[in-house]
């Protein structure tokens, strides 16, 4: 006779569970020593899918459900439901469309990473470029794949990020490298433009500041009074738009102002 169902209280109200009859322990198969270690299946990766397009969600689900050790436990087309879905199902991996992940400056992705650190977030992008993807990658995702990729890559990526690794589609990786290169170039150009506003003496003072010299040491090196050094530093900080010597030293390094200079004895001293 079937046992009546159990009822328990969950965070969203009563949760219906099923009472299962106990299964009697059986003897090991003939010829198998009872002391042998029984190998258990690997832990199942709990996956959630968030994408506006129903057909895309269905295709991803179909590809993953054919893979061993992966269980798609939930999916949604509403970015407002992503956080609740992640927490409710304790997702190991969240696959999220780049448009949803980039909503409000990647806020969804950052919130998932903050509330569920164990969940690896993988962004599914239609194209590898765009400022939106830059924001998403900075939000702390574990990977980025293109929707045009093949199902085998998707399955492999889920397993990699679930094990603590990271994945990046080659085209997305190229975009990241190009972005880093572009940012570095822009920073150098900006620093050089700022340095160009300084007088020759101010550049000399800044170069020694960047080496970690104190005001008295700068004065001795340039034959200036300590008050004169302070005046030069005050003016160069104003021209560079810096609030302190540390920031000014970073600009000097970006502009290459310290290249070719001999290392001062005080190098490495806190600024």
The model's pLDDT over 16-65, given as tens digits with 9 standing for 90+, comes to: 333 333 334 344 444 434 444 334 345 899 999 999 999 999 999 999 99
> Which pLDDT score is estimated for 11?
44
- For the entire predicted model, the pTM comes to 0.55
Locus of tokens 């690794």: 165
Could you read off the pLDDT of 232-247 as tens digits, one per residue?
A: 999 999 999 987 887 8
Could you read off the pLDDT of 171-202 as tens digits, one per residue?
A: 777 766 676 666 678 888 899 999 999 999 99
The three-point CA angle 197-245-180 to 5° equals: 75
Per-residue b or e along 156-175, where b marks 16 or more CB atoms closer than 10 Å to that residue's CB: ebbbbbbeeeebbbebbeeb
CA of 92: how far to CAs of 7, 56, 86, 118, 137, in Å?
27, 20, 9, 6, 19
Of 173 and 141, more confident: 141
Q: What are the start-end ranges of the E strands in 102-147?
A: 120-125, 143-146
Query: Which stretch of DSSP H or E encloses residue 167?
Result: strand 167-168
The answer to whether 92 and 46 are in contact (CB under 8 A) is yes
Joined tokens for residue 73: 């436990």
- Examine the pLDDT at 267 and tell me if it is beyond 60: no
Could you give the CA distance from residue 236 to residue 194 in angstroms, rounded to a whole number? 10
Domain parsing of the chain, residue ranges: 45-178, 196-254
> Which pLDDT score is estimated for 180?
64
> Which pLDDT score is estimated for 139?
77
Query: Strands 143-146 and 70-76: what pairing?
Result: unpaired
- Quote the longest CA-to-CA distance of the chain: 101
Could you read off the pLDDT of 84-99 as tens digits, one per residue?
A: 999 999 999 999 998 8
SS3 162: helix
HSE of 68, CA atoms in CB hemisphere, 13 A: 2
For the structural domain made of 45-178, what CATH number should be given?
Answer: 3.40.50.2300
Locus of tokens 């590809």: 63
Of 9 and 197, more confident: 197
Question: 227, 230, 250: which is closest to 240 by C-alpha?
Answer: 250
Angle between helix axes 151-162 and 54-65 (nearest 10 degrees) is 70
| Percent of the chain clearing pLDDT 90 (strictly above) | 39
- Examine the pLDDT at 158 and tell me if it is beyond 60: yes
For the structural domain made of 196-254, what CATH number should be given?
Answer: 1.10.10.10
Tell me if domain 45-178 and domain 196-254 are identical in fold.
no
Could you give the CA distance from residue 48 to residue 24 in angstroms, rounded to a whole number? 35
> Which pLDDT score is estimated for 148?
84
The answer to whether 125 and 146 are in contact (CB under 8 A) is yes
105: Cβ–Cβ under 8 A, 6 or more apart, which residues? Answer: 135
HSE of 191, CA atoms in CB hemisphere, 13 A: 20
Locus of tokens 């603590």: 164
């Amino acid at each position: 006779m079937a046992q009546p169902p159990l009822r328990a209280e969950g965070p969203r109200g009563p949760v219906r569970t099923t009472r299962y009859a106990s299964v009697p322990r059986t003897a090991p198969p003939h010829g198998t020593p009872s002391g042998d270690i029984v190998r258990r299946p690997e832990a199942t990766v709990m996956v959630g899918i968030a994408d506006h397009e129903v057909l895309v969600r269905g295709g991803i689900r179909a590809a993953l459900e054919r893979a061993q050790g992966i269980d798609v436990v939930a999916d949604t087309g509403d970015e407002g439901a992503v956080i609740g879905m992640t927490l409710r199902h304790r997702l190991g991996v969240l696959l999220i469309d780049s448009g949803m992940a980039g909503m409000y400056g990647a806020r969804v992705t950052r919130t998932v990473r903050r509330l569920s650190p164990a969940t690896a977030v993988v962004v599914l992008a239609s194209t590898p470029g765009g400022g939106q993807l830059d924001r998403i990658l900075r939000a702390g995702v574990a990977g980025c794949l293109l929707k045009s990729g093949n199902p085998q890559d998707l399955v492999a990526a889920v397993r990699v990020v679930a094990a603590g690794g990271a994945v990046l589609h080659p085209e997305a990786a190229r975009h990241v490298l190009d972005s880093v290169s572009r940012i570095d170039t822009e920073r150098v150009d900006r620093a050089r433009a700022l340095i160009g506003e300084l007088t020759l003496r101010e550049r000399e003072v800044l170069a020694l500041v960047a080496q970690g010299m104190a005001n008295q040491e700068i004065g001795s090196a340039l034959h200036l009074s300590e008050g004169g050094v302070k005046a030069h530093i005050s003016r160069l900080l104003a021209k560079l738009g810096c609030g302190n010597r540390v920031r000014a030293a970073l600009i000097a390094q970006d502009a290459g102002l310290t290249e070719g200079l001999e290392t001062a004895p005080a190098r490495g001293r806190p600024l």
